[in-house]
């Protein structure tokens, strides 16, 4: 038999830390170990969301929809992400401005 390939997989190493898990992902093919993984349930507590109504110009909505399609997400999700990013930027700007005002006060 010509060119026989050894298909035996390496035994799964112990994984007790995030570092060991990262090492496993870097050095092993997880597909070889699906039967050894355990199902886990993770509960993620997210704050409730509130529905809002916005009026947008059709050309603006069309642009948003185009960007959402490129990202493979609903346009409503993209709008929410963009708004959250902007709120975070504004919060950081306010904190910086407040800190500058405190340092420049006599």
30: which DSSP letter?
G
Tell me: the pLDDT tens digits for 92-104?
999 988 887 777 6
Neighbours of 10 (CB within 10 A): 10
User: What is the spatial distance between Cα 74 and Cα 55, in angstroms, rounded to a whole number?
Assistant: 17
CA 95 to CA 16: how far, in whole Å?
Answer: 39
Angle between helices 75-104 and 58-71 (to 10 degrees): 100
pLDDT at position 7 over 80: no
45, two tokens: 């507590």
Mean pLDDT of 2-14: 66
């Amino acid at each position: 038999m010509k060119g026989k390939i050894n298909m035996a997989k390496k035994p799964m190493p112990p994984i007790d830390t995030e570092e060991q898990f990262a090492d496993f992902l870097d050095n092993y093919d997880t597909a070889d170990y699906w039967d050894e993984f355990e199902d886990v349930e993770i509960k993620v507590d997210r704050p409730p969301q509130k529905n809002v109504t916005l009026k947008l110009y059709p050309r603006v909505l069309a642009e948003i929809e185009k960007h959402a399609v490129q990202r493979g997400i609903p346009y409503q999700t993209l709008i929410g992400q963009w708004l959250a990013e902007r709120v975070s930027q504004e919060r950081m700007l306010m904190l910086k401005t407040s800190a500058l005002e405190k340092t420049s006060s006599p």
